[in-house]
Amino acid sequence: MKNLFKKYEGKLPLKVINDLKENMPKNISEAKLKKILEETVTEYNKMLVQPGESVGLVGAESIGEPGTQMTLNTFHFAGVAEMNVTMGLPRIIEILDGKKNISTPMTEIYLKKPYSQGKDIKRLALSIKETTLKEIVSEFVVDIAESKIEIKFDEKKMQDIGVDYPVIQKSIKANFKELALSKKGDVITLKLNEKEKELNQLFKTKEKIKEIYVQGIKGITQVLPIKKGDEFLIITAGTNLKKILELDFVNKPRTISNNVFEISSVLGIEAARQVIINEVYKVIENQGLNVDIRHLMLVADTMCATGAVKGVTRYGVVKEKSSVLARASFETPIKHIFNASLIGEVDNLNSVVENVMLNQPVPVGTGLPGLITKVKRS
């Protein structure tokens, strides 16, 4: 029986063969199995896209048409435990245009075993969040006469976030080497150098100290521990996937961000392609629309085909087209025609737009095949 399956490995995808293997009764006869496999092959071939099918255009129309029905912005998540996320048409445009800075970058952090059950979840979340000094300070006192700054800390907040004085002192020292530092109770006093005794300098230093990085991951502006099904995970606003994946309590294979470019640089282009598909599909599903996922796969494939993420814009995917006329018919025609004339580009009229312009049969569907006959020589 195994031999028979092996025979069909080239004709059917592995997944289909495995499915068949699993669902076949143990004592099936050889002849019957062969019949089933033959039938599967014909069915499979029927389902394949036929040569000459204009998949790109059908895909574009299939995404574009329901797109006209999309409500521009959805204003939900007004509740307490959720964040406002860009959804709807703006989000789709953002993804397909290949925007580098997306409007709401987010990470979903899945956790390893004890933590995914809710252990220390709040502390973990806060430890990820990028904390600056001003967030744990209750009062700044600027002493002009002595030219020193007294910083009073909010110890309760410090406890919540999980910072202690040595860490703070260390990070202040790292940023301001010239300051003399002394601690008394919950107050840290900083004294300026004799040289820099100017009043202006004092205030400037105070403002700089406020923004000192204390702990957490840079770029994470907000954290939100939530329960999804029966496990806990952390959602963050702002992304820094590289740093997050370095943490030891993170379930690395499942943690994902919604920033396509970040994914492509951290996890690679295949992951980026999958994120494009997932994110667009999420929006379409969210709007209650029905678009076949294969259309999105095609778009994602085109965007990622070069190995780098390219948006569907005149600087991205369209720029990669080989035909001058096709590029010119999209946007900025004069630029393309001039540049083509400078280097003497040749347009081989291989795709649809050029052939419509020249009133030639477009090479899709019935226009694709040609007939070749042998001419009898008499």
Partner 1 sequence: MSEAYLNGKFIGTVENPNEFIKKVRDGRRKGTVSNNLNIYYNKITSNIQMNDDKGRLRRPLIVIKDGQSLLTESHIKKLENNEILFSDLVKQGVIEYLDAAEEENAFVAFSREALTKEHTHLEIAPMAMVGLCTSLVPYANFSPGARISIGSKNQKQALGMYAINFPIRIDMDINMLHYPQMPLVQSVMHDVSNYNKHPSGQNMVVAIMSYKGYNVDDAVVLNRASIDRGLGRSTYYRPAIAEELRYSGGLTDEVSIPDKDVKGYKSEKDYRLLEKDGIIFQEAKVTEGDVIIGKTSPPRFLSSMDQYNFAPSSRRESSKALKHGEEGIVDFVLITENSEGNRLIQVKIRDQRIPEIGDKFTSRHGQKGVVGLIVDQADMPFTASGITPDLLFSPHGIPSRMTISHLIELISGKVGALSSRYIDGTLFDVEPEKMLRKELLSLGFRENGVETMYNGITGEQMEAKIYIGNIYYMKLRHMVANKIHARARGPIQLLTRQPTEGRAKEGGLRLGEMEKDTFVAHGASLLLKERFDADRTIVPVCEECGMVAVHDTFKNRLYCPVCGDNVEINFIEVSYAFKLLLDELKSLTIHPKLILKNKY
The footprint of partner 1 (CB under 8 A) covers 52-54, 57-58, 61, 337-338, 341, 346, 352, 356-368, 370, 372
> Virtual CA dihedral for 226, 230, 231, 237, nearest 10 degrees?
-20
- The CB-of-68 to partner 1 minimum distance in angstroms stands at 11
- The CB-of-363 to partner 1 minimum distance in angstroms stands at 7
The span from the CA of 195 to the CA of 191, in Å, is 12
181 or 358, CB closer to partner 1? Answer: 358
- The CB-of-373 to partner 1 minimum distance in angstroms stands at 9
Phi and psi dihedrals of 189, rounded to 5? -110, 135
91 or 295, CB closer to partner 1? Answer: 295
312 or 362, CB closer to partner 1? Answer: 362
Q: Which residues pair with 152 in a beta bridge?
A: 139, 187
Closest CA to 180 of 147, 134, 214, 132: 147
Asked if residues 3 and 34 have their Cβ atoms less than 8 Å apart, the reply is no
41 or 349, CB closer to partner 1? Answer: 349
Determine the 3-state secondary structure of 41 from DSSP: helix
- The CB-of-290 to partner 1 minimum distance in angstroms stands at 18
223 or 299, CB closer to partner 1? Answer: 299
- The CB-of-52 to partner 1 minimum distance in angstroms stands at 6
- The CB-of-55 to partner 1 minimum distance in angstroms stands at 10
Determine the 3-state secondary structure of 236 from DSSP: strand
Asked if residues 150 and 140 have their Cβ atoms less than 8 Å apart, the reply is yes
145 or 375, CB closer to partner 1? Answer: 375
Determine the 3-state secondary structure of 124 from DSSP: helix
Residues 6+ apart with CB under 8 A from 277: 293, 296, 297, 300
